[in-house]
Structure 1
Amino acid sequence: MNKQPLALIAIGSALFSSLSMADFIKDSKATLGMRNFYFNNDNRDGAASPSRTEEWAQGFMLNYQSGYTEGTVGFGVDALGLLGVRLDSGDGRHVGSSMIPSDGNGAAEQWARFGATAKMRFAQTEMRYGTLTPKLPILQANDGRLLPQTFEGGQIVSNDFEHLTLTGGHLEHATGRGSSDSTGLAVAGGTRESNAFNFAGADYKVSDALLAQYYYANLEDYYQQHFAGLVHNLKLGDFGALKTDLRYFKTTADGANDSAAGRASGYRTSGYTQNGDGKIDNNTWSLAFTWSIGAHALMAGYQQVSSDSGFVQLNQGGLPDKGAAGASVYLLTDRYIQNFTRAGERTGFGQYTYDFAALGLPGLKASAMYLSGRGIRTTAGPEQEEWERDLSVDYVIQSGPLKNVALGWRNGVSRSEASRDADQNRLVVSYSLPLF
């Protein structure tokens, strides 16, 4: 048998493979993110003990992103490695798994997780399957502690049409910010897992100044949600610029949550509901204006939650793995302590931000925000109220051996008739080191 053709085929295959892998390797990049996080949440009332969470930890986030193989259809893979190391969390100062997981004897000394994502690109469409950190109106991966919350599933994003971005996906599991273990999906108060979160949406750039959005989401056996949003940026010449942000959510019961038997088995939401049965039925809208001029930015807004139930999005806090707690929602009222999404709640809010570059201190920014919520529905008695005041200071070192090291301070004060009063402080030092 003549082996030359086989040898040529083998050499050709190897050469083709080498060429097809060129962009895969050349366009690859990896970074090591480091985050040092001190967290202190001091409850000022209530009978729960301990009343204060105080923890300090160091996080490492290794993020690898490959390029794509050459050809009409390109393939690639991403990887994410996360490691948390406890620095301090003494007896009586570790409450649940707000930041550091519990190991049965208190706060864990260290915890880690790994995620991989396969990806494929065709024209301007990208498909990803594996570990995801969505930032969408219907789902916001939480990154408010040492390590980020992640999800497992598939997502497709297409930019093949001018001015239009189409997004869709299916998620099955989540891993909380203070955990190494994945869970199914739920809402706040839900004790039963759903393994199907389906979503689709469109972002359409009507003009350079106007963005229109529509998204649909379905958490099987819990809810269906429609979102519509408009973001408009108006240039005012010497008078700066005005941003208008309008958001509307309509959320209704789905599957088991739409039946008394399903709700009784654990497919329910927490907080006030019209008949006290945990059924999801909510409309929430908000409108905010932000005026920016020079170093100053002033935001004012209003949000209203309908009274049949509170606002919901994914939240695994009621599931057995308490490390799954910690969720974000796509609302401007989602703050350090409260999110002002209780049934019937009407919230006015304002924020002032200043960029100290105008005073010769580039990299330094500070902001102050105040929110006041009223009309919170209760099962008995008068409507309740709450407020929160938040301060933040951020500085990114601009030069020298510590260039690009970021330092941040967050301070929140909450007083509420619907939950425990709290004072909170967060100190964060972070740095991202490019590896290649």
Structure 2
Amino acid sequence: MKVRDAARYLRPLRPLTPLLTVALMSAHAANADAPDGHATATSATTAAAHARPTGKLEEHGQHGVIDGEAIDQTHSAPAQSVATAQQSDSKGLFAGSHLKFLLRSYSDHLETQALNTRNAWVLGSQLNFESGFSTGAVGFGADAGLFSALKLNGGNGIGNMVHVDPNGGGGNQAAWTYFGLYDIKARVSNTVLKTGAQIIHNPFLEPHDNRALPPSFLGTTISGAEFAGLNLAAGSVTKTQPREQTRLRSLSSAYGDTEFKRFSYLGGDYNYSPDTRFSLYASRADDVWTQYYSGLSHSIGDAKSIRWSGQLNYYATRNQGRSLQGTINTNAYSVALSAQHRAHTVMLAYQKIQGKQFFDYVGEGAGDFLSNSMNVDYNAPGEQSLQLRHTVDLGNYGLPGLRIMSWLVQGWGADASATAASYAGPASSLYGLYWKNGEAVHGKHWEIGMIPTYVIQAGRLKGSSINLTLMHHHATSHYSDPSNNIYRLVINMPFNIF
């Protein structure tokens, strides 16, 4: 690749330049406003855990996140020496290619506070082609994913449970087919550059994959693993392919619904040992916010007796540029401690939103690695929350592949009155976020849930999974997230064609 050609492919990453000067300072900048005694944090999950299609769950029209398996995952051991460069082992563009197919049955029943019910049943399929890399010092390749969905139940009025067009119509359409993924890529050593529509794993753009088909983002990314245990990544995206639409749309914030033209990020994860992981990232939503993430996870002991695991997660968000979503000065953190004894794991987690604004993130992403982000996010101004979670692996009792996770979360102290005064009129774009039933958002709420998951262990359907979600959320009348019940069944059947 000529120098001028490389510069052309890297041009979309230019917005990252200002972030380079603050990346190493981000942990200090974030913690400068953090409460005393709270350290920086990391996701309690690996990217592989987040990528599982049965994980992410969201209350319809809101943005709560949960990964049914992630909190108990241990990180794989980092390499003890620098690995052989992957590009030098390339099998070639076609010899190294793969074609995979995923069939998903997504059915959902929602009961809202107003006693409305919404039902959806959609069959989604993903035919994903991933090429290898051509041989030589620089390898080239391409990827594509053909997404299709068949609606068996549901129609207008049920939001993103089924697909609609960008203007909100088309809810009665029966089937959809479109390219959800497409990119060209280049690899040097263990570093990969991609440009196109892709799925991105990081603390800001983790895919919110809780419908029949996942979302993707259009942009340019670069990731590398040139040193033992260290993974670095950077990228810049300009559009999103939503879960519920067949066309690209503008980026926007998940809660404020504020549109922006570009989102850029950089950072990395370092596996110090099989039991210790540190993460540090910085990002910018143009003219909306600059956001930093830092994290730490550590485990000690043996599950045959007791294995202790701790996770700390921290986000710091500040308004940026034209401040299209107003003044933002928010710190959000969570601390979780879990104890595992053989098949059972019990976790206790505390979370706090410090600031006068909601903790927000990029729409269509699950960019909230805070421990108590479950059915809802517990992300209102000043809100605190406490969670008790239990997970049992029934493989230890003769039922391999079956896990059951149960949890209870209580949230209190939400008070948006200081900021709501600035958005007192319904004409304000943020009125619906900061006001509920005629008063500034405040109050308390709680939820209880259970997720049994079974993964087939052998045979032709090995790796297929059945995931049942049962959740109840109860809130006072002036809290931002309404009371609801969710009953969801997701069946995934993956096939490796070649």
- Secondary structure of the structure 1 residue equivalent to 2:347: strand
Query: Cα distance 1:349–1:142, how it changes in 2: closer, same or farther (>3 A)?
Result: same
Match of 1:13 in 2: none
Q: Deviations over 1:43-85 (max 9, x none)?
A: 0338xxxx22211010001111111111111111111111111
Structure 1 partner of 2:146? 81
Point out which structure has higher relative CO (alpha carbons under 8 A, 6+ apart): 2
* Counterparts of 2:170 and 2:182, CA distance in 1: 31
Shift of 1:425: 0.7
Seen in structure 2, the aligned counterparts of structure 1 residues 400 and 208 have a Cα distance that, compared at 3 Å, is closer
Give the distance between the partners of 1:200 and 1:333, measured in 2 at CA: 25
- Number of aligned residue pairs: give it: 383
User: Shift of the alpha carbon at 1:195?
Assistant: 1.8
Quote how far apart the aligned CAs of 1:332 are: 2.3
3-state SS in 2 of match to 1:27: coil
The corresponding residue for 1:98 is: 161
1:50-199 equivalences in 2 (<5 Å): 51-89=116-154, 94-101=157-164, 104=169, 106-114=171-179, 115-190=181-256, 192-199=258-265
How far is the alpha carbon of 1:252 from its aligned partner? 0.3
Q: Aligned in 2, Cα 1:143/1:237: closer, same or farther, shift over 3 Å?
A: closer
> Which residue in the other structure is 2:74 paired with?
none
Q: 1:70 to 1:43 in 2, by over 3 A?
A: same
Taking the aligned partners of 1:136 and 1:28, their CA distance within structure 2 comes to 25
1:349 partner amino acid: Q
DSSP-derived class of the 2:293 partner:
strand
Code of the residue aligned with 1:178 in structure 2: it is: E
Q: 1:329 aligned to 368, 389, 394, which one?
A: 368
Distance of aligned partners of 1:105 and 1:174 in 2 relative to their CA distance in 1, 3 Å threshold: closer
> For the aligned residues, what is the CA RMSD?
2.1
Query: Superposition pairs for residues 230-269 of structure 1, below 5 Å?
Result: 230-236=296-302, 238-257=304-323, 267-268=324-325
Alignment check: 8 A CA contact 1:41 1:422 kept:
yes
In terms of Rg, which structure is larger?
1
1:15-67 alpha-carbon deviations (Å, 9 max, x no partner): xxxxx995221111111100001011110338xxxx22211010001111111
TM-score, structure 1 normalization: 0.83
Counterpart code for 1:33: L
Q: Tell me what 1:414 maps to.
A: 473
Shift of 1:402: 4.0
User: C-alpha distance in 2, partners of 1:133/1:151?
Assistant: 6
**1:271-327 deviations in Å (ceiling 9; x for gaps):** xxxxxxx43221001111122221111111100001311111102xxxxxxxxx685
Contact 2:217 2:238 survives alignment (8 Å): yes
The answer to whether the Cα contact below 8 Å between 1:139 and 1:330 also exists between their aligned partners in 2 is no
CA distance 1:192–1:349, shift in 2 (3 Å): closer
Instruction: Render the CA deviation track for 1:359-380: whole Å, top value 9, x for unaligned.
Output: 1111111110111110111325
Q: Quote the Cα distance in structure 1 between the aligned partners of 2:442 and 2:256.
A: 24
How far residue 236 of structure 1 moved from its aligned partner, in angstroms, is 3.6
Match of 1:299 among 327, 347, 357: 347
1:335-346 to 2 correspondence within 5 Å? 335=374, 337-346=375-384
Determine the structure 1 residue equivalent to 2:403: 365
Residue number in structure 2 paired with 1:309: 357
Gaps of 5+ in 2: 1-88, 418-438
Amino acid at match of 1:427: L
TM-score (norm 2): 0.73
Name the CA distance, whole Å, in 1 between partners of 2:464 and 2:271: 35
Deviations, residues 144-165 of structure 1 (Å, cap 9, x unaligned): 1111011010111111123322
Letter in 2 for 1:112: T
- Provide Cα deviations, 1:310-349, integer angstroms capped at 9, x if missing partner: 111102xxxxxxxxx68552222222x3111111110101
2: distance between equivalents of 1:30 and 1:286?
39
Q: Give me the identity figure in percent.
A: 25
